[in-house]
Every structure is written in C-alpha cells, then in structure tokens.
Chains A and B, each alone.
Chain A
Amino acid sequence: MIAYVESLLIFTGLAVILASSLNLMLGYGGMFSAAHAVFYGIGAYTTSLLALHVSASILLALPAAMLAGGVAGALLAVPALRVREEYFVVASLGFQIIASTIFNQWVAITGGIGGLTGIPPASFLSYEVDSYHGYLFVAALSVAGVLFALRLVVRSSFGRALRALRDDEVALRALGWDPTHLRVAAVVASTMLAAIAGVIYAYFTSFVNAESFSLDESVRIMVMVIIGGAGTLAGPVLGAAFITAFPALLSFLQVPSTALGPVQRVVYGVVITLLMIYQPDGLAGLLRRLGRRQSAAICR
C-alpha cells in the first residue's frame, strides 16, 4: 500500500515537472506545443543509454539529458517559429509524430517497440538509489529544483520579456528585443526541464519504450497545464495533481478498465471546453477568485 502511494506521488512529481516546464512555453510564451512528451522521452532514452553502456551516475545523466533535451527543443523551435503563431501547434504535432516514429523504429538506439529494459538504478557518487523512498526523495528534490528555477526565470528580465511578448509583440520589438530569440530560449529552457522528468522515470521504472512518450502523453501534459491554469506557477501543480489523481479515482469507482481511457478523456475534454468559455484561468484562477471572495467576506 505504501509503495502504491509512494509510486503515485513520484508520478505526480514527474507530472508537475512536465506541466510546469510546458507552462513556460505555453502559459508564458504563448506557444502551444503538442510535442512535450518527446523531450520527456529524450531525457529517458539518454539516461537509459548512458546507464546501460557507460555509467548509471545521475550526475552524468542529468546534464546529458538536459543537453539532449535542449538541442531537440532547438530543432523544434527553429522550423516551428517560422509560421504564424496559430500554426505552431501543427508544427509541434508533426514533430511529435516524427519523433514517435523514430522512437518506435530506430531499434539500434531506442530498442524499437520493445524499448530498453534492465536499466540499472541511479547512482549518486557511491550511493545507489534502489528503494521507493529513495526515488520519492529524488523526485521531490527535482520538483523543488524545477519550481525554484522557474520562479527565478519568471522574475528575471527574460521572464518579463516573455510576458510582455504576450501583451504586445510590436512594442517589444520597438524596444530592441528579438521575439524569435525569446521564443527559442523559452522552448529550449522548457525542453531541458522536461528532460529531467525523463531521467527520473528511466531510473525508477528501469524500462522505457515509445508508448510512454506518444501524442497521448503530450496531450495529457497539455491538459494538466490548461486545467490547472496556464501562465501561473501554481496552475501546473494543481493540474498535475488533478490529472494524476483522477484516473485513480475512476478505477476506485470501478469504471471498467477498457473504458478508463475514454471516460477520463471525455471528462477532460468537457472540463477544458467549459473552462475556456467560462474560466480560462483554470483551477488556479478559480481558487484565486474564491480566495478573494473569502477575504472580502472576512473584511466585512
């Protein structure tokens, strides 16, 4: 039972990292990417390959995965930013599909559809992480690190420029900023952070295959950001928690397992559409509004 809860918490942590990093691109940068799972996968595959053939040291995997994720992010950003903003999503969809094809077909590197198995546990200096507690600790530390890094970014001049880009790109150009540089930087930062989740995933499950990094997963991450509330720091955390807990709730309610996927997604679809019409700020915005009403009541 404890292992189940710890496992759920670890996956929630990974979801928080993925949603928060996507939020940088989507919520702050205004770029709607349907390819985020690709970078999750790149982080996981990089870690696995290093662990299987070189060393299972997390001190090696983290920078390597982040570098790989960043380079791949640049590969997405450069073509995708050449079309008008509405079409960024199409370019990202194309990127996701091509990446899925590569993940599934490049047997030599990715193990093809079967994937890579037997990945050794993470090692940190001389210490091996091989328990649920251990991975929970690593996940928690990473979540804290990622959220802290994002907070720094949002408050920096770069973060300011991104927010200004959302408000008025023309004025930003007139002040001397290059919007393309900003967007590419946002994408690369975002994908580097996503890769971190992949590192932990690979070590924890000791098995990676393409199915975990498909369009379905990208959509799942997008849904987290949207429902939680894009453009805030708390939003993705709320969204990640909701999306991770919800399937568990459904199976607890004894929804048949074949219907589990579709039922979840119908609910997500309806929630998203309704949210966009009535409450685009998502759960975070809803809570903020309720909080204001509460404090107004108290003040009276």
Chain B
Amino acid sequence: MIETGTILQLRKLSKSFGGNRVIADLDLTIEKARVTSLVGPNGAGKTTLFDLVTGFLVPEAGQVVLRGREITGMAPHRIAQEGIVRTFQGLRLFRSLTVLENVLLAVESDPGASTPSARRDLAQAALERAGVAELAGVRAADLSFAEQKFVSLARAIAKPADLMLLDEPAAGLDGPSLGRFHQIIRALVDDGRTVLLIEHNLDIVRRISDSVAFLDNGRLLAHGSPEEIFAIEELAALYFGDEAVL
C-alpha cells in the first residue's frame, strides 16, 4: 500500500548493541521531493538510522520500505543501486583519487547505464552544481575542509538516486558557504529529489527544511514542520539541556 508522495517508510525499526537499545520501535515516513531534517542530541541514533536504511547495519526488528519495496537487510551496494545515495560525517572521499575520479565513481557503479562520454557529462554537471568544477584535477587529499565537503556533496549529486541521505553536510561551513549549500539543496529538491539530512545547525534546519523529525534515545519524539517542532519547549530542553552540545 503506497501512500502518494511517500518515498521511504520506516516501520517499527529496532536495533541494539550489546544490551543497549540504540533505535527503539521507530516509525517514520519521508515525503517525496521535500527536505526533511533529522535532529536530536548527540547519541540519539541519527547516524545509526542512516546505517540501518542504507544496509550498513541490519535491524533486529522492523522494516525499511523504499518506494513500496522492502529493502530491509539488503547489502549496502544493492540498496545504493535501488536509488539511495548517502554521505558520511567523516566524508570518506577517496584520497588518492582526483575530484573528478571521485565523482565519476558515483556515476560508473551502474555500467549498463550509458556511454563513457555521457557519464563524464553527468560527472561534470554534478561538479558544476556543487560549485567545484575548477577542482576537477585536484587530488582529494589536497583539498581544504570546505572544498572536501562540497566534493562529497558533488559525489552524492552525481549518483542518479532520487533519495539522498546527507549526514551533517553543512557542519563546519562558514556563512557564505552555508548560503551556497542552501541553494544547492533547494535546487535538488526542485528537480524532484528527496533530501533527508542530519543536521545540528538549527538555523539551517529552520531555513532549509520542509519538515523536521526529532530523535532522542532512538525514539522519534516529534515529526512536523519546523515551526511546529521548534515551538515544543520540552524538545528544546532535551536538545540544549543536559549536555554542552554544538
């Protein structure tokens, strides 16, 4: 049963490490062609959730349903081929390869798709969208921090996947870069892609998101528009209260 406009459904997802319940009975629905932000205090389980969705972790219970198809427990590379792309907090660029090579790999994982020159064009287009086209020949290991973040984004853009899971893509960026980031994300969504991002910068969250999901201790506490979520006082207390966050 597919609800119109839903691209990803998480049903009763659970995961423990040792005796520790890291994700508990989580239900979440992600709407197509929107930006959804995942927020919550450190250790709430946000990256773990990404790992569960993209196959790097297998849930003990529950289902991950992508466009009506169950993908729970599939291998990460298979899930990626189903049309999900993700980035990592630690970026994980291929350091000995150039920026162009990093992005080409995103396009080339599906060899049957198109011709080498078409793939090169896709890579080039992604580099331009992320504003890093002039860095194409630079080795990833030689990039500055901000440049690395945008190359990581370019790599995700290049992959022809309509669901993008971005893990703290804007963390550490300065004012102008944040603006540039905001524009890129909105342009992607206008093109029909869905963006789910983990973000700590609440300013960005407020400005960029169509909806916000608040996680704590592996549970979904609230899911709604940014205005609704930020109005809830208990959540603010949880977020800023018991630990020096950000």
Contact = CB atoms under 8 A, between A and B. Distances in A.
Contacts of B102: 164
A175 B106 contact: yes
Interface stretch (A166-174, A247-255, A256-264): A166-174
Interface in A148-165: 157, 160-161, 163-164
A170 B77 CA distance: 10
A173 B77 contact: yes
Given A160-B108, A172-B105, A178 B77 contact: yes
Contacts of A177: 77, 105, 109
A288 to B, nearest CB: 14
Contact of A175 (B97, B101, B111, B155): B155
Interface in B123-160: 155, 159
Interface string B53-85: 010100000000000000000011100110001
Interface stretch (B88-96, B173-181, B200-208): B88-96
Contact of B85 (A161, A164, A175, A178): A175
A167 B77 CA distance: 17
Contacts of A176: 77, 80-81, 106, 109-110, 159
Given A160-B104, A160-B105, A176-B110, A171 B77 contact: no
Nearest to A165: B94
B159 to A, nearest CB: 6
B88 A171 contact: yes
Size class of A's contact patch?
A: 10 to 19
Interface residues of B, number: 27
A182 to B, nearest CB: 10
Contacts of A157: 104-105, 108, 111
Nearest to B111: A157
Given A157-B108, A164-B94, A177-B109, A170 B81 contact: no
A161 B106 CA distance: 10
A49 B61 CA distance: 57
Contacts of B106: 175-176
B92 A168 contact: yes
A170 B95 CA distance: 13
Contact of B76 (A160, A167, A168, A174): A174
B86 interface: yes
A199 to B, nearest CB: 30
B97 A170 contact: no
Nearest to B91: A171
A253 B235 CA distance: 82
A77 B86 CA distance: 29
Contacts, number: 73
Interface string B152-193: 000100010000000000000000000000000000000000
A173 B76 contact: yes
A161 B80 CA distance: 16
A183 to B, nearest CB: 13
A9 to B, nearest CB: 34
A164 B88 CA distance: 16
Contacts of A161: 105, 108-109
Contacts of B95: 167-168
Interface in A185-217: none
A167 B97 contact: yes
A174 B93 contact: no
Contacts of A178: 75, 77
A56 to B, nearest CB: 39
Given A170-B92, A176-B77, A178-B77, A160 B85 contact: no
A161 B56 CA distance: 19
A206 B159 CA distance: 54
Nearest to A178: B77
A276 to B, nearest CB: 19
Nearest to A173: B76
A157 B104 CA distance: 8
Contacts of A173: 56, 75-77, 80
A167 B95 CA distance: 6
Contacts of B109: 161, 175-177
Interface of B: 54, 56, 75-77, 80-81, 85-86, 88, 92-97, 101-102, 104-106, 108-111, 155, 159
5 contacts: A163-B94, A163-B96, A171-B93, A175-B77, A176-B110
Given A160-B97, A173-B76, A175-B109, 14 more contacts: A157-B104, A161-B105, A164-B94, A164-B97, A171-B88, A171-B92, A174-B85, A174-B86, A175-B77, A175-B105, A175-B159, A176-B77, A176-B81, A176-B159
Interface of A: 157, 160-161, 163-164, 166-168, 170-179
